[in-house]
Amino acid sequence: MTPVKVDLKNLSPDALVEFLAGMGKEKFRAGQIMRWIYQRGVTDFAEMTDLAKTFRDELGERSYVSKFTPAAVEVSADGTRKFLFRLDDGKSIETVLIPMEGERNTLCISTQVGCAMQCSFCLTGSYGLERNLTAAEIVNQVCAVREAHAVDNIVLMGMGEPLHNLDNVVDALHILYASTGFDYGPRKVTLSTSGLVPEMCELGRRIKVNLAVSLNATTDDVRNELMPVNRRYPIKALMEACRTFPLAPRQRITFEYILIQGVNDSQADARRLVKLLHGIKAKVNLIPFNEHAGSEYRKPTDAAMRAFQTYLLDRQIVAVRRAGKGQDISAACGQLKGKLEKTL
Ligand code: SAH
Ligand code: SF4
């Protein structure tokens, strides 16, 4: 029986050290191999010329290095690029590169195929969960895009609920952070969650990362309607978890708030939001609901959006209005998967 080969991109730096120890190899070999894989994009052991030939052969017998090539790329008028990747089992995921002000590029990556959380406003949610991505599949989105573009920041805000796939997400973050990997500082990476409270606490214990919370409502009634996860972890429990989440000095939690006309965009909502955020180091991202065929919800008026923002700003809460980027290629968050898939 031939043993199943290990994809080295599935191994966190520590796991790689352990894997190599099993072959009788020294710890520093892990760093050497990681540099080849992540910093030089090499997938063929034959090219890893600072390793002995016998070692390379042995590696090839036990392992391999996977790689993504985009099946399609769409470029939006505003410069947003959407990459479609086909996975080994035929499923597909999307990754979006968003050029930000000051020429910083933010890459939005997926953590699952589909999502189990069923938020009523989200197109991804309507597909249900197909499966978790492996650590390799999470990291490969970054590897593939970095071959052609600078990536300054990374957000785990594509398809899926990252905290539903915590182990693989944490392994992937360790690879992104490793000095022999991509060497991103934890402040360059943001994980967004719909609010799985126990996993948020677990995340805080396990690794450093910026936290974004998709709040989207200020009463349990409305949040239950928008985000079924709220029935398990209501707003009070969620805010309590935010209060105890470990933050570095000057670090804040980002609260994402999609404004939906007549649902959560009133001045009363703004007032309740200020109360909820009391005592939390927070900043708020206000996002206009992105209309799509699968939903009756409507985007807010510009006036409502501005009034909401002004209410927060007047009370010393940092609040930014986010223009939905890449709308012409349906690359806006929550619109991933769909259009391209049907045409391929
Ligand atoms: N599952 C995590 C990770 C990102 S989900 C979470 O919910 O936080 C995808 C992101 O797209 C979320 O920030 C969500 O609020 C946003 N989104 C989903 N549907 C949207 C829509 N129709 N308009 C605007 N934003 C949307
Ligand atoms: Fe899942 Fe996030 Fe969409 Fe909710 S908003 S269904 S958690 S991807």
Domain ranges of the chain: 6-64, 70-340
Residue 285, pLDDT score = 96
Ligand 2 atom at minimal distance to the Cα of residue 124: 3
Q: Whose CA is nearest to atom 7 of ligand 1?
A: 194
Core vs surface per residue 11-47: b (16+ CB within 10 A) or e:
bbbebbbebbeeeebeeebbbbbbbbbbeeebbebee
Cβ atoms of residues 76 and 329 within 8 Å: yes
124 lines ligand 2 (CB under 6 A): yes
Catalytic site positions? 94, 333
Residues contacting 103, CB < 8 A, separation 6+: none
Nearest ligand to the C-alpha atom of residue 118: 2
Distances in whole angstroms, Cα of residue 92 to Cα of each of 2, 104, 186: 29, 27, 28
Residue 329, pLDDT score = 57
What is the distance between the alpha carbons of residues 187 and 248, in angstroms, rounded to a whole number? Answer: 10
Distances in whole angstroms, Cα of residue 327 to Cα of each of 108, 126, 173, 256, 296: 15, 19, 28, 18, 18
User: What's the 43 CA to ligand 1 centre distance in angstroms?
Assistant: 34
195 lines ligand 2 (CB under 6 A): no
Hey, is 323 helix, strand or coil? coil
Distances in whole angstroms, Cα of residue 154 to Cα of each of 57, 96, 157, 192: 35, 10, 9, 11
182 lines ligand 1 (CB under 6 A): no
Residue 325, pLDDT score = 58
Residue 344, pLDDT score = 33
What is the distance between the alpha carbons of residues 50 and 122, in angstroms, rounded to a whole number? Answer: 48
334 lines ligand 1 (CB under 6 A): yes
Report CA dihedral (16, 159, 92, 328) to the nearest 10 degrees: -130
Alpha-helical runs (H) found in 118-196: 135-146, 166-177
Instruction: Provide the CATH number for the domain formed by 70-340 in this structure.
Output: 3.20.20.70
214 lines ligand 1 (CB under 6 A): yes
Angle between helices 166-177 and 197-206 (to 10 degrees): 30
Hey, is 22 helix, strand or coil? coil
Q: Whose CA is nearest to atom 4 of ligand 2?
A: 119
254 lines ligand 1 (CB under 6 A): no
Nearest ligand to the C-alpha atom of residue 191: 1
Q: What length does the chain have?
A: 344
Ligand 1 atom at minimal distance to the Cα of residue 297: 22
Q: Whose CA is nearest to atom 8 of ligand 2?
A: 160
Q: Which CATH architecture has domain 6-64?
A: Orthogonal Bundle (1.10)
300 lines ligand 1 (CB under 6 A): no
Q: Pick from 94, 115, 127, 165 the residue to mutate for probing ligand 2's pocket: most ligand atoms within 8 Å of its CB.
A: 115
Q: Whose CA is nearest to atom 15 of ligand 1?
A: 214
Residue 343, pLDDT score = 35
User: What's the 286 CA to ligand 1 centre distance in angstroms?
Assistant: 12
Residue 2, pLDDT score = 63
pLDDT in tens, the chain (344 residues): 667 999 999 999 999 999 999 999 999 999 999 999 999 999 999 999 999 999 999 999 999 999 999 999 999 888 899 999 999 999 999 999 998 776 689 999 999 999 999 999 998 878 799 999 999 999 999 999 999 999 999 999 999 999 999 999 999 999 999 999 999 999 999 999 999 999 999 999 999 999 999 999 999 999 999 999 999 999 999 999 999 999 999 999 999 999 999 999 999 999 999 999 999 999 999 999 999 888 999 999 999 999 999 999 999 999 999 876 566 555 555 455 444 343 33
193 lines ligand 1 (CB under 6 A): yes
Nearest ligand to the C-alpha atom of residue 230: 2
| Residue 271 token pair | 């007032």
